[in-house]
């Protein structure tokens, strides 16, 4: 097992004896040391460690606490040794990894697990990641909003590493972002919706005060899971001065990255029932599931004209939303539907909305409204315990 070369050591170590015909161990140059630290971003290159090696982990005192480990050992009898590679290459930066002391010990004690090929792959992936991150421009930052609430007694957390992957080529302005966590609220309590809406409004208002100065448009990345009515309210609170990207959690891959290929979704808008009162209108969004007009509350009677936006060529299903362009296409269809309803029914004051939609669609149902043009949304929520839809909140 070769001696470990510590980046924190300032003492010159004696040359190691050669194995077989290999010459005495040559010194790793200061330029090679610098190259390695820069390529590694000053962090341990073993996957899952990522330990910062330019300060002491406990005292935070500055220093160089990394060790330079050989992928192929310099001595033939060392870990991953026996190679016929030239001594000059063995001390080249391409054959060196920056590791913390425990990780260096680990890979050298178990060369059967940490093989040459495995360490080369590990080194390459780490250095490509560092090069990518350090190459990002300052104008590629995005402010992150995480919204979580209990749905049917379950809560899904949104890990930061999944957010980082989903927003590429942008990157989060900071790790904390804006977190609207409603999981500690009891959704069975009569005042739940009022408290939840107040918290959403306060959080988005605080975000706007921090980021909007009137001189530039900011980008916002929204990761949201919760009751549909609250997602619509969240969308209504988002400023139109921001470029808002809303992300979808995909059930098949259990991540938040929009798919990069596949067939586009088409939507259709149609009237499914004509009512007797021109001022009474309902809109069903049959996307994640099918909404039967006969299942609507008894108050949505024959006086109401009922419209529907649904999918073309496939039955409504929870997994239909895969591409970012499919979300954009829905927004265009939704706004067109609101204009057509206004053209037929005039300036109605209220529109009864029955949504069976994924979270990003719900957010845009609120955000796509024009305050002085579109009617107030009376948003209904499907509740099996209550036997169907019931009026939940008013938006706009």
Q: Which pLDDT score is estimated for 11?
A: 43
Q: What is the pTM of this model?
A: 0.68
How does DSSP assign 27-72, residue by residue? PPPHHHHHHHHHHHTTB--STTT--B-SB-TTT--BS---EEEESS
Helix (H, G, I), strand (E, B) or coil at 139: helix
Predicted pLDDT at 138: 64
267-395 matches 138-247 in CATH topology: yes
pLDDT at residue 84, rounded to an integer = 67
User: What does CATH list as the number for 138-247?
Assistant: 3.40.50
- pLDDT (tens digit, 0 to 9) for every residue of the chain, 396 residues total? 444 444 444 444 444 433 334 444 568 899 999 999 999 999 999 999 999 999 998 898 999 999 999 999 877 777 887 666 676 778 899 999 999 999 999 999 999 999 999 999 999 999 999 998 888 766 788 999 999 998 766 777 888 999 999 999 888 988 888 999 999 888 778 888 999 999 999 999 988 887 665 444 478 999 999 999 999 999 999 977 778 999 999 989 989 999 999 999 999 999 999 999 999 999 999 999 999 998 999 999 999 999 999 999 999 999 999 999 999 999 999 999 999 999 999 989 999 999 999 999 999 999 999 888 899 999 999 876 667 899 999 998
Backbone φ and ψ for 312, nearest 5 degrees, come out as -105, 130
Please state the domain extents for the chain. Answer: 5-134, 138-247, 267-395
Backbone angles phi, psi at 74, to 5 degrees: -70, -45
Closest CA to 38 of 7, 84, 75, 9: 7
167-192 pLDDT, tens digit each: 998 889 888 889 999 998 887 788 88
- Which residues, in sequence order, are CB contacts of 146 under 8 Å at separation 6+? 158, 163, 177, 178, 179, 180, 181, 223, 224
Question: Which one-letter DSSP state was computed for residue 382?
Answer: E
- Under CATH, what is the fold of the domain 267-395? Rossmann fold (3.40.50)
């Amino acid at each position: 097992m070769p001696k470990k070369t510590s980046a924190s050591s300032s003492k010159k170590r004696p040359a190691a004896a050669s194995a077989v015909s290999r010459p005495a161990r040559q010194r790793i140059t200061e330029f090679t040391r610098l190259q390695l630290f820069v390529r590694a971003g000053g962090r341990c290159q073993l996957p899952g460690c990522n330990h910062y090696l330019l300060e002491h982990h406990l005292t935070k005192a500055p220093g160089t606490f990394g060790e330079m480990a050989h992928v192929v050992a310099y001595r033939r009898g060392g870990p991953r040794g026996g190679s016929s590679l030239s001594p000059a290459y063995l001390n080249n930066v391409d054959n060196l990894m920056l590791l913390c002391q425990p990780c260096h010990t680990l890979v050298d004690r178990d060369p059967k697990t940490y093989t040459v090929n495995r360490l080369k792959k590990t080194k390459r992936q780490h250095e490509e990641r560092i090069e990518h991150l350090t190459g990002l421009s300052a104008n590629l930052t995005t402010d992150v909003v995480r919204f979580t609430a209990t749905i049917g007694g379950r809560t899904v957390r949104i890990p930061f590493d999944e957010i980082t992957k989903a927003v590429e080529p942008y990157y989060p302005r900071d790790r904390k972002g804006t977190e609207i966590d409603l999981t500690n609220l009891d959704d069975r309590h009569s005042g739940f919706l009022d408290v939840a809406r107040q918290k959403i409004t306060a959080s988005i208002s605080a975000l706007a005060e921090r980021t909007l100065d009137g001189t530039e448009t900011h980008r916002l990345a929204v990761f949201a899971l919760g009751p549909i009515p609250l997602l619509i309210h969240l969308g209504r609170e988002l400023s139109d001065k921001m470029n808002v990207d809303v992300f979808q959690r995909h059930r098949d891959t259990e991540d938040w990255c929009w798919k990069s290929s596949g067939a586009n979704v088409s939507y259709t808008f149609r009237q499914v029932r004509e009512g007797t009162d021109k001022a009474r209108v309902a809109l069903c969004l049959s996307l994640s599931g099918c909404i039967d007009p006969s299942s609507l509350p008894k108050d949505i009677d024959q006086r109401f004209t009922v419209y529907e936006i649904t999918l073309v060529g496939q039955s409504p299903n929870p997994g239909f939303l895969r591409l970012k362009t499919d979300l954009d296409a829905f927004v265009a269809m939704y706004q067109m539907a609101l204009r057509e309803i206004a053209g037929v029914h005039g300036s109605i004051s209220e529109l009864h909305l029955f949504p069976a939609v994924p979270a990003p669609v719900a957010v845009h149902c609120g955000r796509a409204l024009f305050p002085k043009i579109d009617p107030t949304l009376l948003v209904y929520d499907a509740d099996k315990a209550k036997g169907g839809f019931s009026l939940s909140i008013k938006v706009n």
